[in-house]
Amino acid sequence: MKRSVALLFYSIGIALYCLVPFLWFVLTSLKSSAELTAIPPELIPSFHWGFYQSALQNYGLLHYVANSAIVAAATALITVAIGSLAAYAIARFQLTWTNFYLLLLLVVSMFPQIAIAGPIWTILDRLQWLNTYQGLVAAYIALSLPLAIWILATFFREVPREIEEAALIDGCSRLQALYKVVLPLAAPGILTAGLLVFIHAWNEFFFALIIMTDPTVQTLPVGIALFPGEYTMPWGEIAAASTIATLPLVVLTLIFQRGIVRGLSAGAVKG
């Protein structure tokens, strides 16, 4: 009893610690201009929706949301598609180099972004892909593939080999066995990988900043960062935009949480 109470306080403490910045800008976004600059600061806002209206109308927020959605969705889809094939090979064919390959992937994903920013910018420049969706998506795919492959390989390894062999005997080719049997069974893994890649692409700032200089194709983080004008610092609009940028991630995670947790493989083999 004593322990569970302590645990409860501990959990609440950690949750608060993580949520404070989030709560701060959510509360800020709901203030009126007067409350925003009031001294001493007001904690409880008056639930004024003016900043949201202003962010949407004066700063073209929806436009950035659309750009972000396109880039993040495309990145997630393509990364999972490519990553599945690689992860399947790693999980099923125990070749001598698979462990080395996995290690290599890990090393690659550790490179500091600034180290590869120059080459990526040059490559995209040559391809004339700067300021295009495909340019940013290509860069994101390269950045997220290692993580996706790691996650997917783990899930593929858990799909019982016999189920796939049954499919091969029932008349599937390797590729058919993969997408008719293995992929549906590894769905939680695919959701997890897809979601993580999506979130990463949605939040990414640095590459978006250097690749997308044209406001028409800029994504949310860059768009919001460029809200401040020469003489203005629109805190309210920034807070409102940040809240809107956060919402899709919260919703997506809540929707897919069940899918991620659900063990689809249950009942396949004795158990």
Partner 1 sequence: MKHLSKRFGAAQILQDISFDVADGEFCILLGPSGCGKSTVLRLIAGLEQPSGGEIAIDAERVDTLAPRERDIAFVFQNYALYPHMTVFDNLAFSLRLRGMSTNDIGSKVKEAARLLEIEELLQRRPQALSGGQRQRVALGRAIVRQPKIFLFDEPLSNLDATLRASMRVELARLHRRLRATIVYVTHDQAEALTLGEKIIVLHQGTIQQTGAASEIYHKPANTMVARFVGTPQMNCFKGKLDDNGALLHCNSLRLDLTGLLQTALARLAGRSLTLGVRPEDFHVADPGQGWISGIVDLVEDLGSDRFLHVKCDGIDVVARTGRERRIRPEDRIDLHVATEQVHFFLDDKRIEP
The CA distances from residue 201 to 2, 108, 227, in Å, are: 43, 18, 20
Peptide bond into 184 cis (omega under 30): no
Is there binding between residue 112 and partner 1 (CB under 8 A)? no
Is there binding between residue 203 and partner 1 (CB under 8 A)? no
Is there binding between residue 105 and partner 1 (CB under 8 A)? no
Q: What's the rounded Cα separation, in Å, for the pair 30 and 36?
A: 9
Q: Toward partner 1, which CB reaches closer, 113 or 265?
A: 265
Least Å distance, CB 156 to partner 1, is 15
Q: What's the rounded Cα separation, in Å, for the pair 154 and 174?
A: 19
Q: Which residues 121-160 are close enough to bind partner 1 by CB under 8 A?
A: 160
Residue 36: what are its φ and ψ, rounded to 5°?
Answer: -60, -40
Instruction: Compute how many other C-beta atoms are within 10 angstroms of the C-beta atom of residue 165.
Output: 13
Number of residues that bind partner 1 (CB under 8 A): 24
- The answer for residues whose C-beta is within 8 angstroms of residue 26's C-beta and 6 or more apart is 239, 243
Binding mask 232-271 for partner 1 (x = CB under 8 A): --------------------------------xxxxxxx-
One-letter amino acid at 196 equals L
Q: What's the rounded Cα separation, in Å, for the pair 126 and 48?
A: 48
Q: Toward partner 1, which CB reaches closer, 58 or 173?
A: 173
Least Å distance, CB 234 to partner 1, is 50
Q: Which residues 168-197 are close enough to bind partner 1 by CB under 8 A?
A: 168-173, 176, 180-181, 184-185
Q: What's the rounded Cα separation, in Å, for the pair 90 and 103?
A: 12
Q: Toward partner 1, which CB reaches closer, 94 or 128?
A: 94
Is there binding between residue 167 and partner 1 (CB under 8 A)? yes
Is there binding between residue 166 and partner 1 (CB under 8 A)? yes
Q: What's the rounded Cα separation, in Å, for the pair 106 and 240?
A: 37
Q: Toward partner 1, which CB reaches closer, 125 or 165?
A: 165
The residues of the shown chain that bind partner 1, judged by CB under 8 A, are 160, 162-163, 165-173, 176, 180-181, 184-185, 264-270
